[in-house]
Homo-oligomer: A and B are copies of this chain.
Amino acid sequence: MEKMVKRNKSSEELKNLGLKVVKDIEKNKNPSVIVPIRALSNVIFNEKTKTLELGDKTSTRYFFNVAHAKKFLQTIEVASISKDLINEEKHASLRDVFYMAKRTIPGTNVNLVDEQSESDDIIEDLELITENSREQLNVNANKNGSVVGKVTIEDSGDVIRWDKLGSGGWSIPSNVEEIKFKKVDAKYIIYMEKAAVWERLNEDKFWDKQNCIIISSQGQTTRGIRRLLQRLYEEFKLPIYVLCDFDSYGFYIYSVLKYGSINLAHASERLAIPSVKYLGITSNDIEKYGLQKHLIKLKDHDLARLKQISEYDWFKNNKQWQKEFKAMKQNGAKAEIQALSARGITFISEKYLPEKIKNKDFID
């Protein structure tokens, strides 16, 4: 039931978009669509919600305008593809949508789309026009990541216990909008960027001993993972700790999870989680846990990235973070989570993490 209501919502808004265009035509007006502007010039950091957001600048896309006509047609075509997907209760990837939209406009030599970036762009526009996420438009992003913990979910008719999945865990789908949480016993979540660290904590049954959920990606944090984290936070108020390397890449992963990203500023409301805390390696940890011998020298591009990050609006007045950035610059070195293995393979799960969590040794 819940599913149908939600589906009807995005379907309804796509229909409204079509009806608006039909009305324009009936009134002999130039058919048009109003699209919020997704560019750096319209991205702001909202000090109140602590997330990156789009401002209120919009542009109007007209059918009878040589510069707009193709994009106008693309918008209507991709909206129609999304509406069909929703009606058929099927999901497509971005690549699928590209191929579904890619055809020659009858009576011309012009393709409606030539590159996937064009249809991807329109999907982001439609997220704004319809106020529905890509996932609600039945267009999925990448699939990546694993999860285990004391949680039972229902998904596509299956009841799945995240604490009964052996060494592998549940493979996180690209779209988690429709999973239902049946039982959540875990008290907090650790999200980590590295699958190898996740396997370490899973083998040590860290999640069982500490009663938490462990989630990893392999590299990039997908939208599916971000939405899963956000839903667990919003529906169960579970604290989320981000376990990253002490390097600018790790800081950036944390930053995106917490504040949102410039590219997806329009989706911050659904993706950013301002309450997440950084549990990764800190400059204090390096001394406290004897990692001095296990540092990696910074290269020029590390220093450049560090400078960039330290100047972000949301970091530049944060004393704790500025202390970390300064320490890294002075040390001229970064440190990886896995350096903890030098102290013993289970050091991370038996000493480092329990101690950090007990002492609330986080950075906000």
Residues of A bordering B, CB below 8 Å: 85, 88, 90-93, 95-96, 98-100, 102-104, 140, 142-147, 153-160, 164-175, 178-179, 195-196, 198-200, 203-204, 218, 293-294, 336, 338-342, 345-346
Contact = CB atoms under 8 A, between A and B. Distances in A.
Counting every copy of the chain, the complex holds 2
Given A95-B336, A165-B170, A218-B143, A345 B199 contact: no
A173 B158 contact: no
Contacts of A218: 142-144, 218
A176 to B, nearest CB: 8
Given A88-B345, A92-B345, A140-B199, A168 B170 contact: yes
Contacts of A164: 158-160
11 contacts: A90-B203, A90-B204, A93-B196, A93-B200, A99-B336, A143-B196, A145-B171, A155-B166, A158-B166, A160-B166, A167-B178
A143 B146 contact: yes
Given A90-B203, A168-B171, A99 B158 contact: no
Contacts of A345: 85, 88, 90, 92, 96, 100
Contacts of A346: 88, 90
A98 B85 CA distance: 48
A292 to B, nearest CB: 12
Contacts of A154: 166
B174 A171 contact: no
A140 to B, nearest CB: 6
Contact of A173 (B88, B96, B98, B199): B199
Contacts of A198: 143
Nearest to A164: B158
Contacts of A200: 92-93, 96
- What 10 A-B pairs are tightest by C-beta distance, nearest first? A155-B166, A93-B196, A171-B171, A146-B171, A96-B341, A143-B195, A167-B173, A99-B342, A156-B166, A158-B166
B168 A155 contact: yes
A95 B158 contact: no
Contact of A99 (B145, B166, B172, B341): B341
Given A155-B168, A158-B164, 6 more contacts: A99-B339, A103-B342, A147-B171, A156-B167, A167-B173, A170-B170
B166 A96 contact: no
Nearest to A174: B199
A168 B174 CA distance: 8
Nearest to A195: B143
